[in-house]
Chains A and B, each alone.
Chain A
Amino acid sequence: MSGDRSFPPRTLVEKIWDAHVVAEDPGAPTILAVDLHLVHEVTSPQAFTGLRQRGLTVRHPERTVATADHSVPTTPRGLPFLDPMAAAQVQQLDTNCREFGIPLHGIGDPSQGIVHVIGPQLGLTQPGMTIVCGDSHTSTHGAFGALAFGIGTSEVEMVLATQTLLQRRPMTYEVRVDGTLAPGVGAKDIILALIARIGVAGGTGHVFEYRGEAIRALTMEQRMTICNMSIEGGARAGLIAPDETTFAYLKGRPHAPQGAAWDEAVAYWRTLPTDEGATYDKSIVIDASALEPMVTYGTNPGMGIPISGRVPDPAAAGDPAHGRALEKALAYMDLTPGQAILGQAVDVVFIGSCTNGRISDLRLAAAALKGQHVADTVRMMIVPGSDEVKREAEAEGLDEIFRAAGAEWREAGCSMCIAMNGDQLKPGQYAVSTSNRNFEGRQGKGGRTFLASPLTAAASAIAGVVADPRLLPGIEAASGIGGR
């Protein structure tokens, strides 16, 4: 099954695109059908207001699903919201979902969690689908071979009303990752290395397709970590062709096809991978075997270096604008050109987010923290990506390991990745964070972020400084810790 004979060889993205074209007027963008629309409290209220003003309804509430994640406190669920605006926003989502008939996994629902964690978990995210959400990390769902991308609130309103969007066909960008990862090096390091190479605008106008031996070897959760940060490389979406790993993850999930429908779906999904002979607009090759753990030193995710590396010198930047930007970033971070990043003191370690808040991420952190203690100078927060992840971690006793190590074990949500909910850095504090953005103030006004993998974060929490996870005791075994 190499694809439809009426088409020339096509890439995965092109096949999904072609299967969703509703209409195309000359000169106008494509009207693209949307299979699944994910909704959260922050980017949707104005869209629902727009629907009311125009007297419109939600065309397909049964293809729409909502959760509260960005504004929700991660303190025990029985406690009231301290922030009245956050409380009002979450309440508004509840009202909107009731009024328009949209299924909501709100606070207290066993499926509540970060929108990009619960979609896959519920089996809603499936290969070949178009998936949108008013959230740039919608690219996460590309791990399943779905065309998934973030949209603005005006577009949220259009999808609610018509279940379609106006889109121009994106260009394609092949990211081939060959070789085998060394112990202590993981999916997060692959994506940080890619972005460090191509920059935060490298993928603009394109959709990434991650392929190659190192990608095929990853679990679904690791693939989600990579696709999640496609947007940090400038690409609105990033996909991985579905394979046996994908099918095994999906089988039996609540909203996955069942029985004969499952077999039919899998047969279709097998036609999706890029055809032999199909071409991409751009390509890059990365050798996984050569990668070290990665860490960022600056104020965008492209400012990353191997953990044994040194902070670059703005004077050595070829372009004056880059030099100025780097100088500004280092001033914000209060780092010195040429200094080692290893050994840099940290105040806070955050493990969580739609990038690295899944059960396998928590298992890695637990493997590193077992029998160890977080440094006295460090506050460590561990925030599960969803309520289900929390229950699973607790069933495995991971919460006990975290508490014994002196870390805080909290309720599910976006938390300190976006610092809207009260979980935030104080001005000047340094954090090693498993999240996706190190922008100025992202984790709290004046806060300074080093993006890294869960293993690097855990190693740094123990050491109290940025530390190399490859030196953790038992790292070979920990690297083999899997998941789905």
Chain B
Amino acid sequence: MAEPFRSFTSKVVPLHAENVDTDQVVPARYLKITDKAGLAEVLFRDWRFNEDGTLKDPPFVLDQPGMAGRNFLLVGDNFGTGSSREHAPWALQAWGIRAVISTGFADIFRGNALKNGVVPVVVDPATHARLFTMIDANPDAELTFDLAEQGILLPDGTTIDFDIDPFAKLMLIRGTDEMGYLLDKLPAIEAWESAHPGRVDTRPEAAATG
């Protein structure tokens, strides 16, 4: 079960790329696992490593000095596009990312991230540009993330407000998940089902023959 999501202060990993697809976040050949082990090591694998397993030169941003342990990822528009693989937020979370700041996120990624303690934060293009300028000028700037207040405090004392689905926020703050909520609703689900019979039967014996 997840831990309650608390405020944090961290430096930022800046990634100047837009439309980053989940095939880049976790390449498909690493999806053959049946658990969640080892995903931090394969995060952005093909942007970090050469064919022979050595780091790229210059290194990808995650491997630059001082980046390990940072909790913010600042990235270009439409992050998480493509495949529905939840391995993407699992890997981000395992590496230490707790909030991703962008001008937009792909729908499936957004939902998956929120279920794994990785908060997608949408900012307007002007704020986004201002953040990149600030981090490029001062790569060690520290930001404070406050989920309850829905704000990110910048070193200059200003705050960036952000929106979050109120239900997802509640789940994060309580450290609970949607499964618990749905299981509590089983009586309503049972009532609905008794009024709405199944539309299809997948069992082979239910198939028409001939």
Contact = CB atoms under 8 A, between A and B. Distances in A.
A31 interface: yes
Interface in A426-461: 427, 437, 439-442, 445-446
B202 A442 contact: no
B205 to A, nearest CB: 9
A236 B203 CA distance: 28
A35 B199 contact: yes
Given A23-B192, A42-B31, A440-B24, A328 B17 contact: yes
Contacts of A378: none
Nearest to B129: A321
Nearest to A322: B18
Contacts, number: 219
B19 A420 contact: no
A440 B186 contact: no
A237 B94 CA distance: 30
Given A33-B196, A103-B204, A234 B106 contact: yes
Contacts of A263: none
B189 A437 contact: no
Contacts of A135: 84
A43 B89 CA distance: 13
Interface string A198-213: 0011001100000000
Given A27-B166, A135-B84, A204-B107, A321 B112 contact: no
Contacts of B204: 103
Contact of B206 (A62, A134, A325): A62
B23 A437 contact: yes
Contacts of A45: 33-35
Given A22-B189, A158-B179, A201 B207 contact: no
Given A63-B198, A437-B23, A85 B28 contact: no
A397 interface: no
Interface stretch (A64-72, A366-374, A476-484): A64-72
A23 B27 contact: no
B29 A420 contact: yes
B101 to A, nearest CB: 15
Interface stretch (A86-94, A218-226, A465-473): A86-94
B111 interface: yes
Contacts of A71: 32
Contact count band on A: 35 or more
Contact of A157 (B51, B83, B179): B179
A62 B203 contact: yes
A29 B178 CA distance: 10
B198 A200 contact: no
A300 B204 CA distance: 39
B126 interface: no
A308 interface: no
A151 interface: yes
Interface in B87-135: 89, 104-108, 111-112, 115-116
B153 to A, nearest CB: 26
B178 A166 contact: yes
A161 B183 contact: yes
A300 B78 CA distance: 12
A441 B34 contact: no
B177 interface: yes
Contacts of B108: 136, 150-152, 231, 236
Given A54-B179, A200-B19, A234 B81 contact: yes
Instruction: Classify the interface of chain A: helix, strand, loop or mixed.
Output: loop
A129 interface: yes
B32 A86 contact: yes
Interface residues of B, number: 64
B203 to A, nearest CB: 5
Contact of A62 (B16, B77, B202): B202
B78 A154 contact: no
B84 A255 contact: no
Contacts of B105: 204
Contacts of A157: 179
A317 to B, nearest CB: 11
B48 interface: no
Nearest to B188: A23
A437 B192 contact: no
B35 A152 contact: no
Nearest to A122: B207
B28 A442 contact: yes
A164 B182 contact: yes
B34 A46 contact: yes
A43 B86 contact: yes
Given A28-B167, A135-B84, A161-B183, A321 B23 contact: no
B149 interface: no
Interface in B20-56: 21, 23-24, 27-29, 31-36, 46, 51
Interface in B151-202: 165-167, 177-179, 181-183, 185-186, 188-189, 192-193, 196, 198-202
Given A31-B182, A136-B83, A439-B82, A162 B203 contact: no
A336 interface: no
Nearest to A132: B84
Contact of A236 (B82, B107, B165): B107
A322 B84 CA distance: 24
A36 B23 contact: no
Interface of A: 22-23, 27-29, 31, 33, 35-36, 42-43, 45-46, 49-50, 54, 56, 60-65, 70-71, 83, 85-86, 88-89, 92, 103, 122, 124, 126, 128-129, 134-136, 150-155, 157-158, 161-164, 166, 168, 200-201, 204-205, 231-232, 234, 236, 252-256, 258, 300, 302, 321-322, 324-325, 328, 418-420, 427, 437, 439-442, 445-446
Given A129-B200, A134-B84, 4 more contacts: A23-B189, A28-B181, A201-B104, A201-B106
13 contacts: A22-B192, A31-B189, A45-B33, A151-B108, A152-B86, A162-B182, A164-B185, A236-B107, A321-B16, A420-B32, A439-B24, A442-B28, A445-B27
- 8 smallest CB-CB distances across A and B, nearest first, come from A254-B207, A45-B34, A152-B112, A152-B86, A201-B78, A150-B84, A85-B32, A65-B202
